[in-house]
Amino acid sequence: MSQRRKFIKKSLLGSAVFLPGVASAFNVPATGKQAIGEKPIILSTWNHGLPANADAWAKLEDTGSILDAVEAGVKNTELDLTNLSVGLQGLPDREGIATLDASIMTGDGSCGSVAFVRQIKHPISLARAVMEKTPHVMIVGEGARQFAIAQGFPLEEEKLSPNAQKAYDKWKVNSQYKPIINIENHDTIGMIGLDANGKLAGSCTTSGLAYKMHGRVGDSPIIGAGLYVDDEVGAATATGLGESIIRICGSFLIVELMRQGRTPQEACEEAVRRLISKNKDIKDIQAGFLAINKEGETGAYAVHPGFNFAKATNSGNVLIDSGSHFKKQ
Ligand code: SD4
């Protein structure tokens, strides 16, 4: 286990004291094994998923709502100043502007999303407002900002975080667009959860690809690409190069494969194979998927090694390394 992982496990042990019900969780080894039917269960991408899961779990205990839980969980990451791929502190686009994408969905087909939105600290909550307070699914750009103002969301000053500014200044020297794969703790958070009664919900939020073209939108706010949830079957979410995920409707594909009888693991592996078959230059593309079925079985798979995810159940909140199509050299 790396020093950093040890640290994360340790620091979460500390926070567990304040989270009754999750406390016992942190001593469980990260085997990835799980009893079938273990509910509730919350999965989220990357190691920032550990504190996000802890917040989601606390919210689930508090309100009993899996929708509240997946919103609260990723709000943790949206505020994490060390994360350069989620929230307003994330790396900006080519013009030096942070623009955010987010989506949220429940298993009855309700969903909302925002894309290319500026100055909003919690795009996931704005996505939820689109879902609950408009007849629409998706609102983007200036329209999303106007809707946010109307809903009473505060507008943040448009200023890069010190870390993002530093990185952007460095990038500007050559201004080369080159996606970098497999940098842990620097990626989108996608979270999917199943409550004890079999209700599912999911959320996904990101600042998107660093130094993207102004106006570029990734998979995260696209229902069916970055996130899909269906109470009759299960839920899936994605991380990685959005274009590669949109091309195969990744999350919807996984849910449909589960509907046809695949396990979550088989469905994630098939989606990765499909993604590889539909994208050129695959050596430069990382993408990872997470899935849960309504029985509480889980799956995870990525194109390249390096993807990991956090899994919270009554018996633990642990970080697990995902398998991948290409293996470590
Ligand atoms: C996107 N899927 O916008 C996101 C990128 C990601 O931080 O996962 N990165 O394509």
Task: Number of helices (H) and strands (E) in the chain: give both, helices first.
Answer: 9, 13
The one catalytic residue among 77, 188, 205, 313: 188
3-class DSSP state for residue 167? Answer: helix
- Which atom of ligand 1 is found nearest the CA of 238? 2
Q: Supply the CATH number for residue 290's domain.
A: 3.60.20.30
| Within a domain: 60 | yes
Establish how many alpha carbons lie within 13 A of residue 298's alpha carbon, considering only the half-sphere containing its beta carbon.
29
Per the annotation, the verdict on 188 as an active-site residue is yes
Top-confidence residue, 172 or 36: 172
| Within a domain: 329 | no
Residue 24 has pLDDT above 70, yes or no: no
For Cα atoms 60, 62, 63, give the angle at the middle one, nearest 5 degrees: 70
Residue 114 has pLDDT above 60, yes or no: yes
Pocket of ligand 1 (CB under 6 A): 85, 187-188, 206, 208-209, 218-220, 239-242
pLDDT reported for residue 10:
30
Taking the centre of ligand 1 as the mean of its atom positions, its distance from the CA of residue 297, in whole angstroms, is 25
| Within a domain: 199 | yes
| Within a domain: 16 | yes
Residue 258 has pLDDT above 70, yes or no: yes
- Which atom of ligand 1 is found nearest the CA of 45? 8
pLDDT reported for residue 12:
37
Taking the centre of ligand 1 as the mean of its atom positions, its distance from the CA of residue 217, in whole angstroms, is 9
Cβ partners under 8 Å of residue 25, min gap 6: 16, 312, 313, 314, 315, 316, 317, 318
pLDDT single digits (tens) 137-167: 999 999 999 999 999 999 999 999 999 999 9
pLDDT reported for residue 37:
65
| Within a domain: 168 | yes
Taking the centre of ligand 1 as the mean of its atom positions, its distance from the CA of residue 284, in whole angstroms, is 14
CA dihedral of residues 110, 146, 225, 275 (deg, nearest 10): 180
The number of distinct structural domains making up the chain is 1
Alpha-carbon Rg for the chain, nearest whole angstrom, is: 18
Taking the centre of ligand 1 as the mean of its atom positions, its distance from the CA of residue 95, in whole angstroms, is 18
Q: Whose CA is nearest to atom 3 of ligand 1?
A: 208
Closest CA to 108 of 202, 225, 14: 202
3-class DSSP state for residue 236? Answer: strand
How far, in Å, CA of 78 to CA of 97, rounded?
16
pLDDT single digits (tens) 262-304: 999 999 999 999 999 999 989 889 999 999 999 999 999 999 9
| Within a domain: 307 | yes
Comparing 25-39, 61-75, 184-198, 283-297, which segment has the lowest mean pLDDT? 25-39
| Within a domain: 118 | yes
How far, in Å, CA of 68 to CA of 221, rounded?
18
Domain, as residue range, for 243: 2-324
Residue 18 has pLDDT above 90, yes or no: no
Residue 13 has pLDDT above 60, yes or no: no
pLDDT reported for residue 22:
40
pLDDT single digits (tens) 194-216: 999 999 999 999 999 999 999 99
pLDDT reported for residue 175:
79
* Ligand 1 mutation target, pool 93, 178, 182, 187, most atoms within 8 A of CB: 187
User: Counting beta carbons within 10 angstroms of the beta carbon of residue 193, is it exposed (0 to 12), middle (13 to 18) or buried (19 or more)?
Assistant: buried
Q: Whose CA is nearest to atom 10 of ligand 1?
A: 242
Cβ partners under 8 Å of residue 198, min gap 6: 39, 231, 294
Mean pLDDT over the full length of the chain:
88
CA 310 to chain centre: 11
Average pLDDT over residues 6-18: 32
Distance set, CA 325 to CA 15, 43, 268, 272, 304 (Å)? 35, 20, 11, 7, 6
- Which atom of ligand 1 is found nearest the CA of 216? 3
How far, in Å, CA of 276 to CA of 280, rounded?
8
* Ligand 1 mutation target, pool 222, 241, 245, most atoms within 8 A of CB: 241
